[in-house]
């Protein structure tokens, strides 16, 4: 582990959960029958349609398979104080990563090869930590139908369109808010806001050839400009219309949120209250914790 990063022992989800996530979750819980629909219909369908298909078509990361990615996973889990899930790498041209967690099954994270190809190791760890944030915050109940919606749209466009039209707006609103929370988890794991914002920059306009040429400071300025424009009445209308049917907030908005939170007292207090310096931890425990 990087000696300049600290493990956040005893870290609780609510200590870094974004207030919009809290508010949207309360709204979702008021939708009659949603939890039952997910657990009794969408959950089993996800297990049958996607869980087995993923294992058959992806590479399971481990000590003997892509060991450097495995180390990034274990380090992020240690910092965020969470049990390691399985990590899979999947051949796919669209840069993406997602998490599945179902009762009776070990949770797992999937990262597409095209995303790995445009990121540095530190940025890959930020992506892993973002997905760990979903598990840390127990987002799986509501994340399952959203992931199914996205996957259905990718594999069977006509069905995906029908699902998107049928999906309640509250669900998409919730997942956009949940993304802000998980970006915070990525920051807590990397403890460097520039790493998280660099991932978002590359998601906005990166490719294997362009990624090395992108200017992070210019992107941060762009994010701040977007934030200023959004404060106007017209800007707010455009932003709402732009994001209404998206499963994620636009990258510049996410970057601005991380830019702001990284300089907050809340973030600093989390590091101060939970941190155990890795150098001290190694001396007292003999090294890595056994999971």
Name, in order, each residue with C-beta under 8 angstroms of 248's C-beta and a sequence gap of 6 or more. Answer: 175, 176, 179, 254
Strand pairing class (6-8; 97-100): unpaired
Choosing from 23, 47, 68, 131, the catalytic residue is: 131
Residues in the chain: 291
* Dist. CA 278–CA 239, nearest whole Å: 42
Query: Taking a C-beta distance cutoff of 8 angstroms, is the pair 121, 68 a contact?
Result: yes
272 is catalytic: no
- Any long-range contacts for 204-207 (C-beta under 8 Å, 24+ apart)? 204/250, 204/251, 204/252, 206/95, 206/118, 207/118
Look-up of token digits 């939708």: 31
Name, in order, each residue with C-beta under 8 angstroms of 240's C-beta and a sequence gap of 6 or more. Answer: none
Catalytic residue positions? 131
């Amino acid at each position: 582990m990087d000696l300049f990063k600290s493990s956040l022992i005893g870290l609780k989800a609510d200590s870094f959960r974004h207030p919009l996530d809290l508010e949207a979750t309360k709204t979702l819980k008021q939708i009659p029958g949603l939890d039952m629909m997910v657990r009794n219909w969408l959950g089993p369908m996800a297990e049958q349609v996607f869980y087995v298909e993923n294992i058959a078509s992806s590479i399971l990361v481990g000590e003997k398979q892509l060991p450097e990615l495995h180390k990034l996973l274990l380090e992020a889990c240690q910092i965020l104080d969470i049990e390691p899930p399985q990590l899979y790498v999947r051949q796919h041209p669209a840069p993406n990563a997602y998490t599945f967690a179902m009762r009776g099954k070990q949770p797992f994270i999937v990262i597409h090869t095209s995303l790995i190809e445009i990121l540095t190791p530190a940025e890959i760890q930020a992506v892993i930590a973002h997905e760990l944030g979903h598990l840390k915050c127990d987002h799986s109940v509501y994340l399952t139908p959203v992931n199914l919606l996205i996957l259905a749209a990718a594999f069977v466009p006509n069905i995906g369109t029908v699902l998107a039209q049928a999906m309640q707006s509250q669900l998409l609103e919730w997942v956009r808010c949940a993304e802000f929370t998980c970006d915070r988890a990525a920051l807590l794991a990397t403890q460097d806001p520039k790493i998280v914002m660099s991932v978002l920059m590359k998601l906005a306009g990166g490719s294997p050839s362009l990624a090395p040429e992108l200017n992070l400071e210019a992107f941060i300025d762009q994010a701040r400009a977007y934030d200023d424009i959004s404060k106007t009445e017209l800007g707010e209308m455009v932003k709402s219309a732009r994001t209404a049917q998206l499963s994620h907030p636009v990258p510049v908005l996410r970057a601005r949120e991380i830019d702001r939170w990284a300089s907050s007292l809340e973030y600093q207090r989390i590091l101060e209250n939970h941190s155990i310096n890795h150098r001290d931890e190694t001396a007292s425990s003999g090294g890595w914790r056994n999971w």
